[in-house]
Chain A
Amino acid sequence: MISRVSSIDFVVNGTRYRNIKVKPYDTLSRILRDELGLTGTKRGCDYGGCGACTVAVEGMAVYSCMYPAQYALNKTILTVEGLAESESEFSREALSEIQRSFLENGGLQCGYCTSGVMMSTKMLLDDNPNPNENDIKEALAGNICRCTGYGRIIDSILAAAKMKNSAARTK
């Protein structure tokens, strides 16, 4: 069946959105930011060069700046806002291990790349709970950071893996 997609239903960070209007040239990042107000997903280069817009679609890291909004139809999306356990509560405890680890290990400076970096980290740790430095570099190949020089980012990810693993053991 030929179907012209002009609106989509999808799930973002556990919330079901219905009948969100999309234009034929819309990408997922525009919908997330401008229609849903989820501005944690950043717009940097807008053509696949920086990674600031990284989100997860069905558990896979994608650049939302070049992901057709129509492809989000009936999909499950995770953005940086969905990493924390509670969106409304701004306490350190409510943050995910990844967020806490970046905070505690100085994994960010200006923060512009950080939501994308943390989404790539989330996808990496879901796949590989004990990454080595090379695994981290491979997973972050598509995330550019102008500030940190990456050293602190790598430290934060190694620490996040430890935190997650020890949390899993104590559960």
Chain B
Amino acid sequence: MALFRPNDFVLSSDKGEVLEKLKAEGKRAHIIAGGTGFYELARRGYIPEVKTVVSIMQLGLSYIDHEQSAFVRIGATTTLQQLLESRIGDSNGIEAIGDALREIRPLQIRNVATVGGEVCISVPIVDLPTALLACSAKLTIIRAPSDKGAAEEIETNLDDFYIDAFLTKLKYGEIVKEVTIPLHRAEKNSHIASAFVKFGRTAYDFNLVNVAVQLSVDRGNQKKVNSVRIFLGGIKRTPIRAPEIEQKILAKVPDEKMITEATKSMFAKTKLLPSVHGSSEYKREVLPVVILDCLSRAYARAIENEQSGR
């Protein structure tokens, strides 16, 4: 295995220069944020060709801005602990974010790992992306201009970002600048809530599977599900959406039988990503339970939000 021996470590506060550097060096440069995943990649020999390590931690991308009440903008280098402590992920329909952050252990990691790193590392074992997907997050990506001028900014839905494990739509020289999540204050006809559930071998472990759900529930007597987004992590190489299950519960009051049957039929013939702690068969057995748990929590929260007028 080739040793990881870069020549340079660049720590800069100048966005333009960082972007130029990344563009000029192409695959010889690699972005580092918190570094908690980076060293793992390096030591396993995944990035032997990298000669310049480019830190983005001084680019001023550590912020949580929700002055615009319709959404929250989270800078890419905001740490997981900063986001958790901000409590922005505990209400307004994005409770799945708070749930996911609390499940990311240990504190030594949350203190250093960043929101951008969680999104960009693209491995099945991470938790925050599943929750962000359920909450319809968008990414702002910046890249160096093709000729002199201001850096370009592109917006993309997180739904369109993942290609494979370790592979996203990011090209050399591009940086995820921020994550934007829509906030749902009390709405006229329905209440929105979300939840995230992780299932791992121990509380400290990576997930075997994780599930995030965001749904809206009809105001009034019926309490039917008006809209729903269900995402699953740990069962394929990237997080996936579960449209078959979503269809089954739309315009209904979800119940255990409905959810379990829909989940079983969706995965009856699919091989799920095995890991050392859980085979495909095992994951297929636990998945309906975890989905049921997550959907029930999100639904109960939506009802609770209605009753408390949130």
Which A residues lie at the B interface, using CB under 8 A?
1-6, 22, 24-25, 27, 46-48, 51, 54, 60-63, 65-68, 70-71, 73, 120, 123, 138-139, 141-143
Known contacts A67-B35, A141-B105; A3/B12 CB under 8 A: yes
Known contacts A25-B42, A71-B57; A141/B9 CB under 8 A: no
B111 within 8 Å of A (CB atoms) = yes
The proximity string for B residues 39-80 relative to A, scoring 1 for CB distances below 8 Å and 0 otherwise, is 110110000000011010100000000000000000000000
Count how many chain B residues have C-beta atoms less than 8 Å from C-beta atoms of the other chain. 36
Q: Kindly state the separation between the CA atoms of A138 and B105 in the bound complex, as whole angstroms.
A: 8
Known contacts A2-B12, A24-B53; A61/B107 CB under 8 A: yes
Verify A62–B6 contact, CB threshold 8 A.
no
Verify A63–B109 contact, CB threshold 8 A.
yes
> Which residue of A is nearest B51, CB measured?
A24
Verify A47–B40 contact, CB threshold 8 A.
yes
Verify A48–B203 contact, CB threshold 8 A.
no
Identify which of B13-21, B208-216, B269-277 touches chain A: B13-21
Verify A1–B53 contact, CB threshold 8 A.
no
Question: Which of B32, B40, B81 is within 8 Å of A68, CB to CB?
Answer: B32
Q: Kindly state the separation between the CA atoms of A66 and B32 in the bound complex, as whole angstroms.
A: 11
CB distance from A22 to the nearest CB of B (A): 8
Verify B108–A63 contact, CB threshold 8 A.
yes
Verify B112–A62 contact, CB threshold 8 A.
yes
B171 within 8 Å of A (CB atoms) = no
**Which residues of chain A are within 8 angstroms of B52 by Cβ–Cβ distance?**
24
6 intermolecular pairs with C-beta atoms under 8 Å apart: A5-B9, A60-B111, A138-B107, A141-B204, A142-B107, A142-B204
Verify B9–A66 contact, CB threshold 8 A.
no
B11 within 8 Å of A (CB atoms) = yes
Secondary structure at the B interface, as helix, strand, loop or mixed, is mixed
B222 within 8 Å of A (CB atoms) = no
> Which residue of A is nearest B16, CB measured?
A2
Verify B12–A70 contact, CB threshold 8 A.
no
B248 within 8 Å of A (CB atoms) = no
Verify B43–A47 contact, CB threshold 8 A.
yes
Verify A142–B39 contact, CB threshold 8 A.
no
CB distance from B37 to the nearest CB of A (A): 9
B10 within 8 Å of A (CB atoms) = yes
Question: Which of A1, A68, A70 is within 8 Å of B17, CB to CB?
Answer: A1
Verify A24–B8 contact, CB threshold 8 A.
yes
> Which residue of B is nearest A6, CB measured?
B9
Question: Which of B14, B42, B43, B108 is within 8 Å of A54, CB to CB?
Answer: B108
Verify A70–B9 contact, CB threshold 8 A.
yes
Verify A2–B43 contact, CB threshold 8 A.
no
**Which residues of chain A are within 8 angstroms of B9 by Cβ–Cβ distance?**
4-6, 22, 24-25, 68, 70
Verify B105–A48 contact, CB threshold 8 A.
no
**Which residues of chain B are within 8 angstroms of A143 by Cβ–Cβ distance?**
106
**Which residues of chain A are within 8 angstroms of B11 by Cβ–Cβ distance?**
3, 5, 70-71, 73
**Which residues of chain A are within 8 angstroms of B172 by Cβ–Cβ distance?**
none
CB distance from B224 to the nearest CB of A (A): 38
**Which residues of chain B are within 8 angstroms of A4 by Cβ–Cβ distance?**
8-10
